[in-house]
Each structure stands twice: as C-alpha cells, then as structure tokens.
Amino acid sequence: MFYTPESEINSRIAALQNLMNGNLMEGALILQSSDMFYYSGVFQNGALYIPSRGNPLLFIRKNYRRAAEASSLDNVIQIKNIKQIPQLLNERGYTLPGVLGLELDVITAQMYIDINKIFENSRLVDCSGLIRKQRAVKSDYEIELIKKASALTDDFFQELPGIIAPGKKECEIAGALESAARRRGHQGAVRVRGFNNEFHYGCLLSGENGGIASHFDGPLGGPGLNPSFPFGSGRRVICINEPVMVDYVGAFDGYCVDMSRVFVAGCLAEKLERAHRTAVDIQNSLAEQAKPGVTGEELYESALAMAVKAGLSDNFMGFGQQVSFVGHGVGIELNELPVLARGVKTPLEAGMVIALEPKFIFPGEGAVGIENTFVVTSPGLERLSSHPDGIGYLSY
C-alpha cells in the first residue's frame, strides 16, 4: 500500500492556502472523498480543516487508526461528530474563520444547513471552484501514478480481442473486461463528481446500442440493463459486421485514465470506417495543436470544423442531443477540469491531464471514434496509451 508523500501533501495544502488568501477565504472544511484524499492522502469518515494560514487538522470519526497511519499530516484527531470541530479549533488556538469554504457542489443540503449552525459566525462560500482549478494541474508524482494507471489500462484492453465474440451478450463481455481490470488492481469504483453521476466503469456498446443517448453528459449512453440504471451495456447479443465501442475507465491507485477503442467481428460499412478514421485524424490534429495557452474552446471548434468538413457534423459527439465538448480533464475523478468545450476560454497549462475523445454516433448503426489520455507539457501533448487507434478487426 502506497501513501502520498509528505512533501506532496504539504505543497498541495500550501497551494490551496495561496488560492484561499487570494479569495479572502479564511478556512476550508474539506469533506468529500476525492478532495480529502488529495489534501490528506486518506479517505475516511471525517473532515479536513485547512486554515488559510497554519497547519491543517484532520478530524476523523471513523476509521481513526487507518487515517492516522496513512496520512502524513501531523494533526489527526479522533472525533465523534463534526459538531465538535469549532471547539477543537478554539482549544488549539485557531481563530474561527469569518469566511469558510465548503464544497458546495458535492456536500449535501443537510450538511450545509448543519454546518451553517455549527459555524454560526462564519459566512459559507464555495471552495470547490478553487479545488478543482488546483487539481486540474497535476504534480510529477500524480503524473507518474496516471502513467502507471494508463499502462495497466492498456494491459486490460489487450484482452478485448479475446473477450469480444459474436453471440455473446454485451453485459457478459463487460463483466469479463471488468474482471480483467480487477485482476490488475482496478479499484472498481470510478469517481464522477456531481449529483446523480452514478457510473460503472464506462460503456461497452454494440451496433445500434452505441446510438442510444442517456442522461449522462457524454457522447455515449447505452440502454443499461434496466430503467433504474439506464446507462452502459445491455443484454444485446453482439453480431458480425458492427462496431463494438468500448469506452472504459482505468482507475488504479486512486487515478483515472479514460480510453475508447472500437472492435469489429468481420468488416465494417465504409461510412463507419471512414468516420472512425476522421475521429483518429481529429484526435491527432488536436494532439498537435494542444499546448499551454491553447483554450478548450479552440480545440473543440477545431475538432468540430474537421467533423463539418468530413460531412459528419450531425454525428459528431452524439446525435440529436450532442454534447459540445471533445475532451476533459481526468485525475482522481473522471470529470476533472479542463473541459475542452464550446465557451471554455481558460488556457491549457503544463501538468494538466486530458482525455481527447472525438466520436461519431450513427443512430441505429452504432458508435465509432477514439479516446486517449494525454499529459500537457510545455512543448505539447504527451500521449500515454500505446494501444493502436485503428479499429480492432476480429476473426470469428
């Protein structure tokens, strides 16, 4: 079991404190799993208090022993209830914050109401914006973890040609792929920030199922196995001569990479094959353009222009209810910043890790396209996956 190094935690805390001081925030109470892991090295039941100046305090309800063992923070304090926190801060000589940051995009309404009473003299403001901005730029340590996650993801994707076969059901193939991932240490749960963002690995969709849209903000959807969880693989039996789109997340040692490939048992209609080649061309063109300073909007518009030129604008990133993006940040969560989307004017920075995923959806026929994860470096993008981008043709 690895633990996040002390120097790493210290520099993350210091960087957040910088942002807090620039935003007149005197303290932040970090409650969400991903953020707590990022700033303390552990996820347990409790709260991490980060003052704008001074040392953070990690308050743990359960499991204290594991938190104390795994976190490099000096102050790990057992509590029974977060109501104790203001008094414990006072006892340790901390001034209660006039302005307290909370992760308003993820903590519950009831927690907000409760914390409003617990910190009765503090004004509660959102700190998720600062956190997400900070987390978008990865450290060298994080990039190493993401590279390892990418190598393991490449590795379990290698099993797909042996798993996909006509006559098998989507959910059966999905299960076999997930098993291949777990065997390599995939943590199973994939974190997608935000309300109702329930997720299970990704989607493996054959033929027409690749054209079924969903509630999820992505180009793919799929029927799912029932109306309660209407996303991802269904029970459709794979046929010959149709695309099997595999868009799966590798989540290893806390970090995600996002990857998509298309497989076909037999051959594919020229139209779909051509669309796939266009998607790969878009990816490669974006990978050439993207570097520090370029905006998400520029990349999206450039991708869209290539789709229009190929006569595929209707199919680009969905059909009917398209999404207006062509990629997104990945890290501890699948949907980190930046979003490479219409209207996003924040420039790329070195250290960002992004998934580029140009895809084309043909209702009734299926989905084609590509997805790979890249690190933004000063000269440009560094691609992580070495898995070939072309359609994987399977004999049967």
Q: Does 81 help bind a second copy (rule: CB under 8 A)?
A: no
The footprint of a second copy on residues 258-317 (CB under 8 A) is none
Number of Cβ within a 10 Å radius of residue 22: 10
| Least distance to a second copy, CB of residue 283, Å | 25
Q: Does 187 help bind a second copy (rule: CB under 8 A)?
A: yes
Q: Does 230 help bind a second copy (rule: CB under 8 A)?
A: yes
71 vs 373, beta carbon nearer a second copy:
71
Q: State residue 47 phi and psi, 5-degree precision.
A: -150, 140
The footprint of a second copy on residues 95-124 (CB under 8 A) is 102, 104-113
The footprint of a second copy on residues 120-159 (CB under 8 A) is 126
Q: Does 210 help bind a second copy (rule: CB under 8 A)?
A: no
Q: What does the DSSP assignment read for 287-353?
A: HHH--TT-BHHHHHHHHHHHHHHTT-GGGBTSSSS--SEEEEE-SSSSSEEEEEETT--PBP-TTBE
Question: How many residues of this chain interact with a second copy, rule: CB under 8 A?
Answer: 80
228 vs 395, beta carbon nearer a second copy:
228
Sign of the dihedral through C-alpha 367, 370, 372, 376: negative
Contact predicate 201/180, CB 8 Å: no
Contact predicate 57/49, CB 8 Å: yes
| Cα 123 to Cα 119: distance, rounded to the nearest angstrom | 8
Q: For residue 385, what are its two tokens?
A: 């996956």
Cis peptide upstream of residue 63 (ω within 30 degrees of 0): yes
Buried b (16+ CB within 10 A) or exposed e, 147-183: bbbbbbbbebbebbeebbbbeeebbbbbebbbebbee
Which one of residues 215, 241, 311, 396 is an interface residue with a second copy (CB under 8 A)?
A: 215
Q: For residue 146, what are its two tokens?
A: 């993401």
Q: Does 223 help bind a second copy (rule: CB under 8 A)?
A: yes
Q: Does 232 help bind a second copy (rule: CB under 8 A)?
A: yes
| Least distance to a second copy, CB of residue 371, Å | 20
Span from 182-190, 281-289, 304-312, 345-353 in contact with a second copy (CB under 8 A): 182-190
The footprint of a second copy on residues 8-47 (CB under 8 A) is 31-34, 37, 41-45
Span from 224-232, 237-245, 301-309, 345-353 in contact with a second copy (CB under 8 A): 224-232
Q: Does 191 help bind a second copy (rule: CB under 8 A)?
A: yes
The footprint of a second copy on residues 60-79 (CB under 8 A) is 62-63, 65-66, 70
User: 250: which strand partners?
Assistant: 257
12 vs 276, beta carbon nearer a second copy:
12
Span from 18-26, 222-230, 371-379, 386-394 in contact with a second copy (CB under 8 A): 222-230
User: 78: which strand partners?
Assistant: 60
Number of Cβ within a 10 Å radius of residue 281: 16
Which one of residues 226, 378, 386, 395 is an interface residue with a second copy (CB under 8 A)?
A: 226
92 vs 229, beta carbon nearer a second copy:
229
